[in-house]
Every structure is written in C-alpha cells, then in structure tokens.
Amino acid sequence: MGAGVIKSDSAGGGRRRRRRRAQPMAEINVTPFVDVMLVLLIIFMVAAPLLTVGVPVELPQTSAQALPTEQEEPLTVTLTADGRVLLMANETESENLIGQLRAIAAERASNKVYLRADGTIPYERVVQVMGALNNGGFSDIGLVTDTGGPRFDGQDG
C-alpha cells in the first residue's frame, strides 16, 4: 500500500554499462490513514452522545427515607461578623485552629469541611482560614452561601 519504484538513470557512458536494479520507495503514503481516522472521528462524535441516553423509567414511590449522603456529620467552620472563628458550635482561637483541625482530621474518614463566612468579613481573612483548613488536613473545602443573590444577567435572583 503506497510502496513504489524509483527508476535510477545512470549518467555514466563508459564501456561497461551496468544495469541497476530499481530501488523500492521508502516513503509511506499517509493520506489513506488520515482519511480513515477522520471518518472514525466523525463516527465517534456522532455516536458518543447516543451512548449516554438512558431508558426512561417511571420509578415506584415509597415511604422509605432517603439514604444518607455522608456517614458522618460534616465539619463546619464559621467566621462571624465580629471576627470570631467557630469550629462546629465551639469558639476557638485562631492560633489553636490548625492543631484542633489536625486532631479532628485524624479521627474522621472524610476530609470535607464547610466554611461559612459572614459577607462583611474581608476576603483576606476568609483566605487565611481556608489556608488553615488546608494545613489542618482538610483539602475538600465547600463555601456555604445563601440562594437569591445576583445572577449577573440583568435580572434579580
């Protein structure tokens, strides 16, 4: 597929003319390969969304409680408007926060923590507490907010 022959003309005109053998061409023609790959790409682009469509099923209704999403109560750190730091419901000093977080992280299976901060707290303070949470062993930090804020599309939410 794509191998050809290159004729070699010898320019010498001596008494002995040697007949040279034709040498095979060492280049590969990649055009058919590219064509096949483009066709496969188009096929997969069309077929991929069809693979994710599920079968519509009307599930039965029951009075059972929903399964809990987490095995343990999520850890919550709160920054109040007056600058206090609360770990769950207990107030803690900023200097002791990392030590307490490390002790809690050693006991917990999850490294998820929710950070609640008053809207009037400076951003710098929130980031400092986030750094303390990270140093304390909690890398999955969720920021808790209220709904109904601005939507940035010209409409009030």
Q: What confidence score (pLDDT) does residue 1 get?
A: 53
> Cβ distance 135 to 100 under 8 Å?
no
* Cα-trace Rg, the chain: 35
Q: What confidence score (pLDDT) does residue 55 get?
A: 42
Is the sign of the CA dihedral 88, 94, 98, 99 positive or negative?
A: negative
Q: What confidence score (pLDDT) does residue 59 get?
A: 47
Q: What confidence score (pLDDT) does residue 68 get?
A: 54
Give residue-wise pLDDT tens across range 51-106. Answer: 654 444 444 555 656 545 656 677 888 888 888 888 887 888 888 888 998 998 88
> Cβ distance 111 to 133 under 8 Å?
no
* φ, ψ for residue 25, nearest 5 deg: -75, 130
Bridge-based pairing of strands 112-117 and 75-79 is parallel
* Higher-scoring residue by pLDDT: 14, 41: 41
Give residue-wise pLDDT tens across range 19-31. Answer: 777 777 778 888 9
Give residue-wise pLDDT tens across range 107-152. Answer: 888 888 888 888 888 889 889 999 999 998 888 888 877 766 666 6
Strands (DSSP E) along the chain, which ranges?
Answer: 5-6, 23-24, 75-79, 85-87, 90-92, 112-117, 140-143
**Per-domain residue ranges for the chain?**
92-145
**Length in residues, the chain:** 157
pTM assigned to the model:
0.52
The C-alpha atoms of residue 79 and residue 132 are separated, in whole angstroms, by 13
Is the pLDDT assigned to residue 11 strictly greater than 80? no
